[in-house]
Structure 1
Amino acid sequence: MIYIKVYRVQGEVLLAACDEELLGKTFREGELKLEVKERFYKGELVEEDALESLLEEATIANLTGERCVRKAIELGYVDEDRVLRIQGIPHAQMAKMFL
């Protein structure tokens, strides 16, 4: 299961999603720090398959955790070579560009 929260601001649709077990944790590696804050990520608890329609609608996404990031890669929204890992935890950001 994953937590998802959708923010709609000035025409943008921001999706915040994280694997359930990561919520509330902080990861550090060198100068990097990844905080999986409840106030940002904690919304609805859903199956990872729900990400497909959410990513389709999102213009921006913050994804944290193996399941979230793997699904976004499978769907073609995230390039595997662009995934950041902090203490082994994958984190990816996506922004759709409209021309």
Structure 2
Amino acid sequence: MPFAVRQTDYQKNPMLNICDAELLGKTIVEGELNMHISESYYGERFVEKEEAETLLKNSAIINLVGDETISLSLGLGIGSENAVKKISGVPFLIVFKM
């Protein structure tokens, strides 16, 4: 399964926005919470699992959305299951590596 990614720098730190490709362009809503998984934020390009792993390992700040994306990250020891939140059943996670 491909992942949608966008790489940038934030205050001289490599930042990665990554999501399950099928979520790209969708809006998830639960009560007053609303998250648009936009192409401009997450969809610079598509990568396969191996490259996604490398990007996750080499990024200091990571915004993740989707079951497959978060499962991959947690499997690499990046992020904590306790920090995963959900909107309408769709998980998201923000990681800051120190």
The alignment's TM-score, normalised by the length of structure 1, stands at 0.91
Which residues of 2 match residues 42-61 of structure 1 at below 5 A?
A: 42-61=43-62
Unmatched runs of 5 consecutive residues or more in structure 2: none
How much does 1:25 deviate? Answer: 0.6
The one-letter code sitting in structure 1 at the alignment partner of 2:51 is A
Aligned to 1:8: 9
Q: Which amino acid aligns with 1:57?
A: N
Instruction: Note the aligned Cα RMSD (angstroms).
Output: 1.1
What is the aligned partner in structure 2 of residue 21 from structure 1? Answer: 22
Supply the distance in 2 between the matched residues of 1:88 and 1:45 (Cα, whole angstroms).
Answer: 23
CA drift of 1:8 comes to: 1.9
**3-state SS of 2:79 partner:** coil
2:35 counterpart residue number? 34
In the alignment, does 2:81 pair up with 1:84?
A: no
Q: Would you say 1:93 and 2:94 are equivalent positions?
A: yes
Hey, which bits of structure 1, 4+ residues long, moved more than 3 A? none
Contact 1:25–1:36, Cα closer than 8 Å, also in 2: yes
Structure 1: state its 5+ residue gaps.
Answer: none
SS of structure 1 residue aligned to 2:93: strand
Q: What is the TM-score of this pair, normalised by structure 2?
A: 0.92
- Count of aligned pairs: 97
Distance, in Å, in 2 between the alignment partners of 1:16 and 1:30 is 24
- Counterpart-to-counterpart distance in 2, 1:69 and 1:16: 12
1:49 Cα deviation after fit = 2.8
